[in-house]
Amino acid sequence: MIQSVIYSKLAKQFPGKRTIITGAGSGLGLELTKLLLQDGWTVLGIDIDTSELTKIANSKLSFSNVDVTDRVALKEIISTFCKTYKGIDILFNNAGVGEGTLFSNYLPEYWDWIIDINLKAVIHATYFVLPEMQQANDGLIVNMASMAGIANLPRMSPYNVTKAGLISLSESLNHELCHTNIQVVCVTPTFFQSSIMQHSRGSKEIISSAQKIVTNSSLTSLDAAKIILKNLHKRNELIRFPFSAHVFFYSRRLLPGLYKRAVRFFLFKKTT
């Protein structure tokens, strides 16, 4: 019942139902792909591993084994989609990797790797679709950031920095696009079950600990996908979930001193 309400409102805004989803091969991206296909959207799924997408039989699904850090290939596949379907309605910048490490232990080349995936690929994809949306004076760009970009917890600096960059990019673009019908929605969840840590390059111990938190979350990728789609038609610039995301958000802003002491006492002790 809820799904029909969600999609009918979204479809009123975007009757063309055309979307591109990066990181569509697993986790949240895969669930978004399935849900939108169920409602008749035309979907281009982009991922370095498309094995799960091959299992979906749907005439409205196309997918490409493209590394989002390959700017030339990314531009080509986006351009082809927009030309074939005469535009695009929603871009989901979903591809991303998690990380767990102390700053001092993270190699400079690893910084290049995570920035290329989590930040620069989003910049590039957005840059490639924006002219199409500007021509139609309509569109929605959904950037999958994280509460990590606001909370800035220890042992996550590479991830925090890239997600903070997405939040900043989203806000900047919304200012620049305020006189158009194009909007950027920034999604900032805390933990939910996903494959976010599968390619991490940091500390094995910290990554293992983070993976346990992700795995044990009561919120699944399907739950997260439904929450996002439920809120997209509202055109809120920031989507936060679950409840813990609201706790981090408001405590960080309203009680900064207490927040800092709590983080250092509970999450980063001298023995670590």
Predicted confidence (pLDDT) per residue in 77-133, tens digit = 999 999 999 999 999 999 999 999 999 999 999 999 999 999 999 999 999 999 999
Task: List, in sequence order, every residue forming a beta bridge with 185; answer none if it has no partner.
Answer: 142
Q: Give the pLDDT band of residue 193 (cuts 50, 70, 90).
A: very high
Cβ pair 198, 207 in contact under 8 A: no
Residue holding tokens 């996908």?
A: 225
Q: Give the pLDDT band of residue 21 (cuts 50, 70, 90).
A: very high
| Residue 80 in tokens | 């082809």
pLDDT at 270: 53
Q: Give the pLDDT band of residue 8 (cuts 50, 70, 90).
A: confident
* Signed CA dihedral, 6, 12, 16, 21: sign only: negative
Q: Give the pLDDT band of residue 154 (cuts 50, 70, 90).
A: very high
Q: Give the pLDDT band of residue 214 (cuts 50, 70, 90).
A: confident
Residue holding tokens 């990019």?
A: 169
- Quote the pTM value: 0.94
Q: Give the pLDDT band of residue 6 (cuts 50, 70, 90).
A: low
The Cα 252–Cα 14 span in angstroms is 36
Alpha helices by DSSP H, the chain:
2-13, 27-38, 71-84, 108-115, 121-136, 148-151, 157-176, 204-215, 221-232, 243-254, 256-266
Mean pLDDT on 1-27: 84
How many percent of the chain have pLDDT more than 70? 96
pLDDT at 272 exceeding the cut of 50: no
Cβ pair 158, 114 in contact under 8 A: yes
> Domain spans of the chain?
2-266
Cβ pair 85, 16 in contact under 8 A: yes
pLDDT digits (tens, 9 = 90+) for 240-268: 999 999 999 999 999 999 999 999 998 88
Q: Give the pLDDT band of residue 216 (cuts 50, 70, 90).
A: confident
Q: Out of 9-18, 19-28, 142-151, 208-217, which region has the weakest mean confidence (pLDDT)?
A: 208-217
> CATH class for domain 2-266?
alpha beta
pLDDT digits (tens, 9 = 90+) for 163-188: 999 999 999 999 999 999 999 999 99
